[in-house]
Amino acid sequence: MTVFYLPDLGEGLPDAEIHEWHIKVGDVVKVDAPMVAMETAKAVVDIPVPFNGKVVKLYGNPGDIIKTGAALIDIEGDNKDTSSTDKATVVGNLQISDTIVEELATGIQPSSNGAAPAQGVKATPSIRALAKKMQVDLAHCIGTGPAGQITVSDLENAAKSPTKVTTPASPLTKPTEDYEPLRGVRRAMAMAMSKSHQTVVPVTLVDDADIHAWPEKTDVSLRLIRAIMAACQREPRLNAWFDETHLALRQHPHINLGIAMDAPEGLFVPVLKNVGQCSAIDLRKKIDEFKTGVKNRSIPPEDLSGATFILSNVGVFAGRYASPIIIPPMVAILAVGRISEAVVAEQGKPAIHKLLPLSLTVDHRAITGGEAARFLSALIRDLQTS
């Protein structure tokens, strides 16, 4: 009998939810046949049968969350090792394999002695418990006790200071019974948004583009993509990733444009890769594919990662301006509101034009106000041409 463990499904997330089993206990299964559909943060991924055999046990039912690396299924298989002439032992059965050991270089060299790395917080368990109760982050305490350990009065001092930080509950602990845990896409959204709120310093700039000059039946999405490309050319620092640990910025030569899409399951952001290389027809086709993909949950994981800039169309239902939230490591996001007619001054006289409301959020840690304003100005200039 061999246990098959849930592999990483390619998104670096800690777990996946069982969506549907295609097989049941007792089935005789063939390698590569469909086995189970797993729901990850953004997609439903099919895992095939790993080897021939008979299903002995399933480690969960649809709806259960399985941790990456945890047991998924037991299959009694015919994957017994082919016995060589010398069984290499007279007792027992040695497993033979050509797997190469992969270790750090220190696995062969002894670890260096003495020089201990930078030490963290020094506190007894009772102080740690008290800090949790008082909602004080020990990292912000200065230890005045023996050997720099944190004392009760250090905690009290820290509690009075404005740097008091509430520690969020670990996502590994379980909620109480009357709460429904968020799953899949919603869970990913909650985590991404918390992270953004904890780290990004957002500043939002709003303005309108006068789109009076547009011909009938202009494709709004395509015009926006074109304008974003023009604006990125003017201010390339907005098409970048920010590494907050090292305070470093990585500018991208191409624009991978994430398109925020709403679905009953939550927020999806499929990515148009290298929009500068795509024709208008390709882009429209890809966007339509994403729309169907979001509905069927069939967008492959590789189409859901790697965005360098996000476009969010909030105005489909209502809303003119927004304060869109940046998803790290990106540094900017553009939200587009509902198009409306308004009276504008045209050569000293009132006229009725269509206006497209724009809201640009940038991460002020990486982007200056001037850069944001110049980006928005280049965007509007491109949108206002016919």
Partner 1 sequence: MTEITLIAAINQALNYEMHADQEVVLLGEDIGINGGVFRATQGLFEKFGADRVLDTPLAESMIAGLSIGMAAQGLKPVAEFQFMGFSYPALDQIINHAARFRNRTRGRLSCPLVFRMPYGAGIHAPEHHSESTETLFAHTPGLRVVVPSSPARAYGLLLAAIRDPDPVIFLEPTRLYRLQKQKVADTGEALPLDKSFLLREGKDITLISWGAMLHESLMAADSLLTRGLSADLIDVATLKPLDCDTLLASVEKTGRCVIIHEAARFCGVGAEIAAQLSEKAFLSLKAPIQRVTGYDVTVPYAQLEKQYLPSLTKIINVIDQTLEFT
**345 touches partner 1 (CB under 8 A):** no
**106 touches partner 1 (CB under 8 A):** yes
- Give the nearer residue to partner 1 in terms of CB position, either 104 or 281: 104
**245 touches partner 1 (CB under 8 A):** no
Shortest spacing between CB 245 and partner 1, in angstroms: 11
3-class SS at 370?
helix
Stretch that binds partner 1, among 115-123, 197-205, 283-291, 359-367 (CB under 8 A): 115-123
Name the strand (E) or helix (H) holding 207: strand 202-210
Distance CA 245, CA 302 (A): 25
**171 prior amide bond cis, ω within 30:** no
- Give the nearer residue to partner 1 in terms of CB position, either 9 or 322: 9
Q: Which of 28, 33, 94, 201 binds partner 1 (CB under 8 A)?
A: 94
Binders in 68-87 for partner 1, by CB under 8 A: 68-71, 86
Distance CA 302, CA 290 (A): 13
Distance CA 272, CA 290 (A): 9
Closest CA to 65 of 15, 12, 13, 11: 15
Long-range residue pairs from 188-197, CB within 8 A, at least 24 positions apart, any chain: 188/13, 188/41, 188/42, 188/266, 189/266, 189/267, 192/327, 193/325, 194/168, 195/328, 196/325, 196/326, 196/327, 196/328, 197/325
Identify the burial level of 157 via C-beta atoms within 10 angstroms of its C-beta, where 0-12 means exposed, 13-18 middle and 19 or more buried: middle
Shortest spacing between CB 201 and partner 1, in angstroms: 22
Q: Which of 111, 176, 296, 386 binds partner 1 (CB under 8 A)?
A: 111
**65 touches partner 1 (CB under 8 A):** no
Stretch that binds partner 1, among 164-172, 202-210, 226-234, 241-249 (CB under 8 A): 164-172
3 state SS for 324-340: CCCCCCECEEEEECCCE
Q: Which of 61, 82, 85, 97 binds partner 1 (CB under 8 A)?
A: 97
Task: Show the binding pattern over residues 121-160: x = contacts partner 1 (CB under 8 A), - = does not.
Answer: xxxxx--x---x--------------x-x-----------
**How many chain residues are in contact with partner 1, going by CB under 8 A?**
55
Q: Is 55 in contact with 80 (CB distance < 8 Å)? A: no
Task: Show the binding pattern over residues 273-302: x = contacts partner 1 (CB under 8 A), - = does not.
Answer: ------------------------------
Shortest spacing between CB 124 and partner 1, in angstroms: 6
Shortest spacing between CB 67 and partner 1, in angstroms: 6
Shortest spacing between CB 74 and partner 1, in angstroms: 10
**103 touches partner 1 (CB under 8 A):** yes
**113 touches partner 1 (CB under 8 A):** yes
Q: Is 176 in contact with 182 (CB distance < 8 Å)? A: no
- Give the nearer residue to partner 1 in terms of CB position, either 121 or 287: 121
Task: Show the binding pattern over residues 168-207: x = contacts partner 1 (CB under 8 A), - = does not.
Answer: -xx-xx----------------------------------
Stretch that binds partner 1, among 110-118, 243-251, 306-314, 362-370 (CB under 8 A): 110-118
Q: Is 231 in contact with 373 (CB distance < 8 Å)? A: no
Identify the burial level of 287 via C-beta atoms within 10 angstroms of its C-beta, where 0-12 means exposed, 13-18 middle and 19 or more buried: middle
Distance CA 276, CA 256 (A): 9
Angle between helices 280-296 and 220-234 (to 10 degrees): 110
Interface residues with partner 1 (CB under 8 A) are 3, 5, 8, 12-14, 67-71, 86, 88-101, 103-104, 106-108, 110-111, 113-125, 128, 132, 147, 149, 167, 169-170, 172-173
